[in-house]
Amino acid sequence: MLDAFILVLFMVIVGALIGGVTNSLAIKMLFRPYRAYYIGKFKVPFTPGLIPKRRGELAEQLGKMVVEHLITPESLQKKVMNEDFQKDVTLWLSEELEPVFTSDKSANEWLDILQIPVSSARLNEWLEDWIEVKIKDTKMSYTSKRLEEALPERWQEKVSESIPKLVDFIADRAESYFTSPEGKMKVKIMIDDFLKERGMLGNMLGMFLGNTSVADKVQPEIVKFIKHEGTQEILFNLLTKEWAKLKQMKLEEFIDRLPERDLIQTVETSLVKLVNIDGHLSKPLSHWLEPHKQTFLNIQLPRWVDRGTDLLSKKIPNLMEKMHLQHIVQEQVESFSVGRLEELVLGISRREFKMITYLGALLGGVIGIVQGMIALLIS
């Protein structure tokens, strides 16, 4: 009986050793040896190991698996459009932009930090160039037009409506002038000149009437003439006709009389001073951004993130195609040494490989028991 137990135990131990060692060797042969060995011209069988031998195929299959099953356009689109992901992006951008909104550095300093080739001098130069181009283009486009075509109809109506007011203004100013001491003196001088030009007849008339009395008599008549309705009607008709003629004139008659270079320089100087680019760029960035901080972070930024992720989601398939992700994975795997591949695989599956070794020993032991029982029955 003891001999039978020893025989079965021996069979179990031998079977377990054979099963365990065989499985362990099979696992080792997945990776080892790392290179092929030769005896003369003949390659030693099973060298190199399975994975080193087919590393190219493994790299290609891993690339396909990543693109077709792991990192797919659909999975990335789902991740990008996920509400939690968008909130995380918004929060991250808010934290990153916080120092910008509270920065004490001027806009000029930020332009230097970001290496943007823009300065107040450059912007003023661009503004001056833009003004010059606009003035010249405007001049060219309006040269052949009549004033009536160039002026908006509303402006023309305003001018026409202002003519009666202008007539009243001229009459009032003329009346005020001729009733003033200066006006009276001017009338006297004009009468004196008139009488002198008439020679002896003028002198006799002056001596007979007296110069002062003539001026005093003429001055009220001038005022009556100015205030007379007929005079104002004549002035109104005159201004209306002149305005009608003016509207028919071509703008080139006005534009050609303008000193173009002086006009451009005047407009440039005025606008550069008005815009004050240098003053604006010298102020801290927080001066411009702080008042809009909450509106931007709470309203605009989430909208931008939503639109940005939506646009990114639509572009992901094309982007992945342009990136050639499968080739990237394949090249990376092919660049790994066999030792590193072994570390990666064993690092993930070391426990499972040990269980396979133990399972082989267990199966070998069971087979040993079966063999021992068969040997006892035969004997």
The percent of residues in the chain predicted with pLDDT above 70, rounded, is 86
Q: What does the pLDDT average to over 184-204?
A: 63
Which pLDDT value is given to residue 132?
82
Q: What does the pLDDT average to over 263-287?
A: 82
Q: How confident is the model at residue 163 (pLDDT cuts 50, 70, 90)?
A: confident
Q: What does the pLDDT average to over 184-203?
A: 64
Contact status, residue 124 vs residue 274, Cβ threshold 8 Å: no
Q: How confident is the model at residue 211 (pLDDT cuts 50, 70, 90)?
A: very low
Q: Is the pLDDT of residue 199 over 80?
A: no
| More confident call, 192 vs 53 | 53
Q: What does the pLDDT average to over 283-296?
A: 84
Amino acid (1-letter code) at residue 325: L
Q: What does the pLDDT average to over 149-154?
A: 79
Which pLDDT value is given to residue 196?
61
| pLDDT tens digit sequence for 125-135 | 888 888 888 87
Which pLDDT value is given to residue 204?
53
| pLDDT tens digit sequence for 311-340 | 988 888 888 888 888 888 778 777 777 777
Which pLDDT value is given to residue 201?
52
Exposure string for 153-164, b = 16+ CB within 10 A, e = fewer: eeeeeeeeeebe
Residues recorded for the chain: 379
| pLDDT tens digit sequence for 85-99 | 889 999 999 888 888
Contact status, residue 291 vs residue 116, Cβ threshold 8 Å: no
What gap in Å lies between CA 232 and CA 238, rounded to an integer? 10
What residues form DSSP beta bridges with 250? 146
204-208, 232-236, 297-301: least confidently modelled range: 204-208
Q: CA geometry: angle at 363 spanning 362 and 368, to 5°?
A: 95
Contact status, residue 10 vs residue 350, Cβ threshold 8 Å: no
| pLDDT tens digit sequence for 212-224 | 456 677 777 777 8
Which pLDDT value is given to residue 137?
78
Q: What does the pLDDT average to over 163-185?
A: 83
What gap in Å lies between CA 204 and CA 196, rounded to an integer? 10
The percent of residues in the chain predicted with pLDDT above 90, rounded, is 2
Which pLDDT value is given to residue 256?
65
| More confident call, 242 vs 200 | 242
Which pLDDT value is given to residue 209?
52
What residues form DSSP beta bridges with 39? 42
Q: What is the pTM of this model?
A: 0.49
6-20, 115-129, 199-213: least confidently modelled range: 199-213
